[in-house]
Amino acid sequence: MSHFDDLMDYERQTQALAQVAGRLSWDQETVMPRGASPQRAEESEAMEHVLHARRTDPRVGEWLAEIDAETLDPVGRANLRHIQRAFDRTNRVPVKLAGEIARVTSSAQRSWAEARAANDFKAFAPVLAKVVELKRAEAQALASGGDPYDALLDDFEPGATATELEAMFDALRPRLVALRDRVMGADHQPAPLSGTFDESRQMELTQEIARAFGYDMEHGRIDKAVHPFSSGSGLDVRITTRTSATDPFGSIYSTVHEVGHACCEQNIDRDYLLTPLGQGVSMGVHESQSRIFENQLGRSRAFTGWLHGRMQEVFGPLPVADADAFHGAVNRVTQGFIRTESDEVQYNLHVLLRFDLERDMIAGKLAPADLEEAWNARFEADFGVKVDKPANGCLQDVHWSVGLFGYFPTYSLGNVYAGCLMKALRNAVPDVDASLAEGNPRPATGWLAENLQRHGGLYEPREVITRACGGVAPSEGPLLDYLEAKFSEVYKL
């Protein structure tokens, strides 16, 4: 066996253990008994210790030093690149700190859920302060002199920097604000879909739509959780959703969103199973798939035309005049507090708020105890309304409680990528709307699987998007063009 084969065998076991650790998180969010929390914290910490020890094992460093990348094929070189990067990153974080982060975030997540239910930020603030303290220490260790926030960001979007993102977001913001103002001031305001909708039928419809978009239930399952998410890679990729009797779109579109994530894992070349290439390459690329599934495809006029009919079959007559009014109900732009329920026009404004606040927390400019106040002030400035309760404000997202800093901006980057990909997809699959109108997104999702998802970690994030777009590098233009065209039509601007 060559050093490379040894390394890949070793990496395969590490990947398998990482899948186990990920499934432990899935379990915690879906089925874990409430009282198990303290024990689970120790279990998660023990798994983190094992993974950290494997990732920092001197043998990996020795193998990496011995292997000549020039002797490998492109797949081998890509694997080596991922392993080297992960090895370098992991070795910078002390094992004790990594273990403490795992333990603290495991119980912090429970504290967050309780504080959110009780609408009590003060109960969560000291827990968040501890998480931020640990993440700042981790960022310092990772950055080794560079920008601490970029060091965290790099874990989710290799190669991206806050400075670059800020420039992109600066270009996004004015046209989004202008579009929102026009939409909010429009004479034509689509009505919402009112009524109550049986939640078990919602779950059934959600499964049907998940399958239609390409979710493979032989290698996945759908459960309920507080926060919808996708979990796992390879042959076991699970998603969660939530239902509300008065908001069937919440369940449908959060599911389609998570199906985008799940397909980004399920459709990777099976040759890459349990290797570093067997996972979506970055959160931005991941989010590009969840958002294009959810919005450019799922909320298109063509697909909502089909959904309008299907929902009447499932729930009986709907209180909307026609498919056009239904399309308007799906795409309404309204004042709202919750990022995950936000419309396409305002969504990125939610993200920019979090991006700035978390950069300030990591930079030490914003004390976690002051987060609620800072959030509420910024929200009122950006959205024109006061936050009414923490569950609608700074306690709405799970991310920070589990230590995810540097993750939020990848949502907007994903939207930018989705804009670029949709433009390319329309060129490549001209009849995409005809299929969507029949409730069949497969020509579209199949193109994405073939041109993007199957590559897994073979290419760097920017490169794989550029390749899928026929050599055109990603920019915010196509997303803005798409949004302006779509909402001008919906709102008859």
261 appears as a binding residue in the annotation: yes
| Interface map 224-263 toward a second copy (x if CB under 8 A) | ----------xxx-x-------------------------
Q: How many helices (H) and strands (E) does the chain have?
A: 20, 3
The residues in 440-459 that bind a second copy, with binding defined as CB under 8 A, are: none
Considering the complex, what minimum distance in angstroms separates the CB of residue 50 from a second copy? 6
Write the CB contacts of 75 (distance below 8 Å, at least 6 apart in sequence): 271, 272, 277, 458
Q: Residue 479, Cβ neighbours under 10 Å: how many?
A: 28
Choose, by CB under 8 A, the member of 117, 167, 191, 217 that binds a second copy. 217
Considering the complex, what minimum distance in angstroms separates the CB of residue 351 from a second copy? 32
**What is the C-alpha to C-alpha distance for residues 480 and 487, in angstroms, rounded to an integer?**
11
Beta carbon nearer to a second copy, 19 or 401: 19
Beta carbon nearer to a second copy, 36 or 377: 36
Choose, by CB under 8 A, the member of 101, 274, 371, 418 that binds a second copy. 274
DSSP symbols for 461-487: HHHHHHHHTTTPPP-SHHHHHHHHHHH
Beta carbon nearer to a second copy, 242 or 467: 242
257 appears as a binding residue in the annotation: yes
User: Given the structure tokens 């859920």, which residue do they identify?
Assistant: 113
Choose, by CB under 8 A, the member of 148, 190, 220, 409 that binds a second copy. 220
Give the tokens for residue 120.
């009590």
Beta carbon nearer to a second copy, 300 or 453: 453
Considering the complex, what minimum distance in angstroms separates the CB of residue 23 from a second copy? 7
Considering the complex, what minimum distance in angstroms separates the CB of residue 30 from a second copy? 8
User: Would you call 258 a catalytic residue per the annotation?
Assistant: yes
The residues in 8-67 that bind a second copy, with binding defined as CB under 8 A, are: 12-13, 16-17, 19-20, 23-24, 27, 31-40, 42-43, 45-47, 49-50
Question: How are strands ordered across the β-sheet holding 230-231?
Answer: 222-224, 238-241, 230-231
Considering the complex, what minimum distance in angstroms separates the CB of residue 235 from a second copy? 4
User: Which one of 45, 48, 258, 344 is the catalytic residue?
Assistant: 258
Q: With contact defined as beta carbons under 8 Å apart, do 383 and 349 qualify?
A: yes
Buried b / exposed e across 469-478, counting CB within 10 Å, b at 16+?
beeeebebeb
Helix (H) or strand (E) holding 142: helix 121-143
Q: With contact defined as beta carbons under 8 Å apart, do 441 and 208 qualify?
A: no
Q: With contact defined as beta carbons under 8 Å apart, do 132 and 371 qualify?
A: no
Q: With contact defined as beta carbons under 8 Å apart, do 25 and 231 qualify?
A: yes
Binding site feature residues: 257, 261, 287
Annotated binding-site ranges for Zn(2+):
257, 261, 287
What are the residue numbers of the active site? 258
Binding site for a second copy (CB under 8 A): 12-13, 16-17, 19-20, 23-24, 27, 31-40, 42-43, 45-47, 49-50, 216-221, 223, 234-236, 238, 273-274
